Amino acid sequence: MDVFLSSSQLLPFVAASVLLTLAPGPDNLLVLALGMARGRRQGVAFGLGCAAGCLNHTALAALGVGALIVASELAFSALRVVGGLYLIWLGVQAIRHAASADAQRLSIPADSCARLFRRGLLANAINPKVVLFFLAFLPQFVQAERGEAAWQIVQLGVVFTLQVAVVFGLIGAFAGALGERLARRPAVAMWLDRLAGGLFLLLGLRLLSGR
């Protein structure tokens, strides 16, 4: 039994993973919007939290729990509702705390990066669509002749998480730098926060609708 992934597994997997991560989707759009609204550090923190949430899906896929969740209509629906409501809650919070016309953008509390990391982690970890993605994507790169499939899935999931952290970190930093330039006008900062909140609300409602 081979302990580690082969280059014939790893190289195509990384290439496919980066392309999928860069493709417009809910997570990278949220990182983009939040980075523009809150700044570089906050955007990177949220992006890294979303990446860390992939470890949860890796564990579920490796243990077979993800397949059980998908097979159970009740469990899958419950996870979908919880995930949708959580995104809606994040949207409401963003809108409620949108900067007023005379607020200073950099007055965000120092612990907001840690808080945004946790929110990104939870938003990704309880998203049932990501559960489906991991169950469909990771097994395609498992080579039966190399031994234990669960161990290969763990390694593939960790590699996927690392590349997501890099891509989302760069997206958050780029969006934050752009947002900081735009938000020199207080009114723009306010609308950037509202835009981020609206996107959270939209994606939460979409998840609740099952689309």
Task: Indicate the pTM of the whole model.
Answer: 0.80
On the question of pLDDT at 108 being above 70, the answer is no
Can you give the residue range of the structural domain that contains 110? 26-139+148-209
On the question of pLDDT at 204 being above 60, the answer is yes
* pLDDT for residue 8: 85
Confidence of residue 102 (pLDDT cuts 50, 70, 90): very low
Answer with the residue of higher pLDDT: 6 or 50.
Answer: 50
**Mean pLDDT value across residues 37-55:** 92
Answer with the residue of higher pLDDT: 50 or 24.
Answer: 50
User: Per the domain annotation, does 64 fall within a domain?
Assistant: yes
Give the angle 122-189-115 at the CA atoms, nearest 5°. Answer: 25
User: Per the domain annotation, does 4 fall within a domain?
Assistant: no
Q: Enter the tokens of residue 45.
A: 């923190």
Q: What mean pLDDT value characterizes the chain?
A: 82
What is the Cα–Cα distance from 126 to 88, expressed in whole angstroms?
13
* pLDDT for residue 211: 62
Answer with the residue of higher pLDDT: 23 or 55.
Answer: 55
The pLDDT tens digits for 128-168 are 888 888 988 988 898 878 778 888 899 999 999 999 999 99
What is the Cα–Cα distance from 165 to 119, expressed in whole angstroms?
15
User: Per the domain annotation, does 14 fall within a domain?
Assistant: no
User: Per the domain annotation, does 8 fall within a domain?
Assistant: no
* pLDDT for residue 170: 95
Exposed, middle or buried: residue 199 (CB in 10 Å: 0-12, 13-18, 19+)? buried
**Mean pLDDT value across residues 52-74:** 85
* pLDDT for residue 168: 96
Q: Enter the tokens of residue 150.
A: 């669960």
User: Per the domain annotation, does 5 fall within a domain?
Assistant: no
Provide the domain count of the chain.
Answer: 1
User: Per the domain annotation, does 12 fall within a domain?
Assistant: no
User: Per the domain annotation, does 109 fall within a domain?
Assistant: yes
User: Per the domain annotation, does 130 fall within a domain?
Assistant: yes
Confidence of residue 104 (pLDDT cuts 50, 70, 90): very low
* pLDDT for residue 90: 82
On the question of pLDDT at 1 being above 60, the answer is no
On the question of pLDDT at 18 being above 90, the answer is yes
Answer with the residue of higher pLDDT: 69 or 12.
Answer: 12
HSE, CB side, 13 Å, CA atoms: give it for residue 50.
28
* pLDDT for residue 106: 41
Which CATH number covers residue 68? 1.20.1250
* pLDDT for residue 79: 81
